[in-house]
Structure formats: C-alpha cells, structure tokens
A = this chain, B = another copy of it.
Amino acid sequence: MTASFSERVLAGDPRAIARAISLLEDEAPAGADLIRAIFPRTGRAYLIGITGPPGAGKSTLVDRLAAEIRRRGQTIGIIAVDPTSPYSGGAILGDRLRMQTHAGDPGVFIRSMATRGHLGGLAHATGDVALVLDAAGLDVIVIETVGVGQDEVDIVRTADVSVVTLVPGTGDEVQALKAGIMEIADIFVVNKADREGADRTMSSVRSTLSLQSYGPDDWRPPIVKTEATSGAGVPELLEAIAAFRAYAEKTQNIRRRERSEFRLRELVSHRFMDHLETRVLAPGELSQLVERIAAREVDPYTATGELLTRALKAEN
C-alpha cells in the first residue's frame, strides 16, 4: 500500500496528498511510514510562514501571493492553520471558497488544519505536512496561521522566512495580543494600507524595531505596505521575501539543521513518553504517580528515577 501511495504523493496527486495530510493530522502510524518513504525527496521547497491577528486579511493576502507566484511560473501549497479552531480538513466553507479562486489550477494546493486537542501536536503535524507538499514537488509552501501563542511561534519557526501581518485601526489591544510574535518576524506587512491609521501602524512597528540593536551584517526586517483586496504591494512583498532568501542563503542550512535537531529531540521525547505510558506503565499509573507527588508521598526526582529505571529495563 505505502509504496504506491507514496508514489502518488510524490507525483503530486491531490487526493493522495489530502489523504496523507489526514493521516498526519491523526498521527496515524501510516503517516510516519509515508514520511519515511518520501523524506529523501524533500528539502527543495521554500517555506514561507505568515501570521497575524484575526481580521488582518491574511487569507486574501495569501491568495494574492499565490496568484503572483503562479504568474511567475512557480507552484504553491498553502497550509492554513487555526490553532483555536476545532475544525479542519477540506470540508470547511473557507477552504471551498478559497479553492474557487484557483479552481482547476493544479499548481495550487490549499488545505486547512486545526488542532485535534493534542497540545503541541499541531506544530509537529504542520512540519510533516510541509514535508508532504515539498515532496509532492511544490516550489513554495505557505504556512498561514492566526494568533500569538507558543503554538503559532513553533509553527512559524518551521518556515524559512517569517512574515508578520498587521492591520491599521484595529486598536492597540489587538496589536498587543499579536506582539509576542514580533521577535520572530523577518518581514512585516501592514495590510489594508489604504485604511486610516496605516501610517501610525507603520511608525509603531518602526519604533518597536528601533528598540532592537542590529549589527552591521544583521537583517533588518523591512515593513511592506499591502492592499490585499487590490493586490497592491504584493509584488513588493515577494521581492522582500526574495531579498531575505538571498540574505539568508548561507545561514539557511544552519537554520534547517537547528530545526532538524529540535524536531528529532522532540520526536524522541514524545516517542519515549508514549512508550513509557503505553508499554511500561499500566493505564492510569502515571496519574496515580502525579497524585502521589501532589500528596507529597513521593518527590518528582525519585518518581522520575523510578520511571526511567522501569522503562530502560522493560525490554529485557
């Protein structure tokens, strides 16, 4: 099964890709098998992470970006992640509306993803989905996400370039909710730049950036004005992305290697905990142990030592 399935993914078959993404979202073992099979064919696509508050017009902006990328002869995959939404998959209205813009164009693949209740799982799954689209031969992959939490930071960190989208006139509070993510921005976009307050938002971002100290060779995040509805500024955004890509060419491999190491450590920890809970401990045993720690009957270090001893000897 996997052989022909992975071949269909590698050939860019949209149905196979959609099925692959569902497997990864569900953390199904077949998903890991697929990644194993396609991994040698990954590493070619350029990953763009785009985040911003709700209402910043990210979807429209990404659609415009997709159109511009297509116009330049490249193919594009879009992963729209909403960590706050329990809905996902191709079934939601937004997906279908967005698909229509690029209907019949096999050079555009769009997919929504949402959390399935497993903390941190979404970021892992997003990274693996990006690998699938990469292996499927898409030139550019956009990971679009909403919000400000650690999840979004982790998701955006899987990208080669991080774009933070702001919007004028939504009030300080929304900007503020967004701002935890400012540190990870390689490029800022002020969308809906025709709105009142656009200049104030520009200068607010500028003054935030002026608080940073940059060395002579450091990248200084540019601020690009866009009007996603008309498409104004979208070519400039692509230029800024190209400039960052050229700037970061030397460091990109370091960044990707750091990501590989982070991912490997995370996967090892996750699989070990999983092994511990499902193969070593009886059901409910971990929560009993937590109760005993809470009741001060055992301390966390002793509990950890006992768990590790049992896990490491369980294979005998």
Contacts and interface: CB of A to CB of B under 8 A. Distances in A.
Contact of A269 (B273, B303, B316): B273
Range of interface residues on chain A? Answer: 35 or more
Contacts of A293: 260, 264
Contact of A267 (B35, B153, B211, B304): B304
A256 interface: yes
A153 B178 CA distance: 15
B148 A304 contact: no
Contact of A208 (B43, B177, B207, B313): B177
B296 A42 contact: yes
A103 interface: no
Given A35-B299, A294-B257, A312-B312, A208 B267 contact: no
Nearest to A261: B290
A308 B272 contact: yes
Given A36-B301, A180-B180, A272-B308, A172 B175 contact: yes
A32 interface: yes
A40 B296 contact: yes
Contacts of A273: 265, 268-269
Nearest to A307: B268
Interface in A263-316: 263-265, 267-269, 271-273, 275-276, 286-287, 289-291, 293-294, 296, 298-305, 307-308, 311-316
A52 to B, nearest CB: 14
A11 interface: no
Interface of A: 32, 35-36, 39-40, 42-43, 148-150, 153, 171-183, 204, 207-208, 211, 253, 256-257, 260-261, 263-265, 267-269, 271-273, 275-276, 286-287, 289-291, 293-294, 296, 298-305, 307-308, 311-316
Contact of A296 (B43, B253, B316): B43
Nearest to A258: B290
A289 B264 contact: yes
Contacts of A275: 308, 312
Given A153-B150, A300-B260, A268 B176 contact: no
Nearest to A39: B299
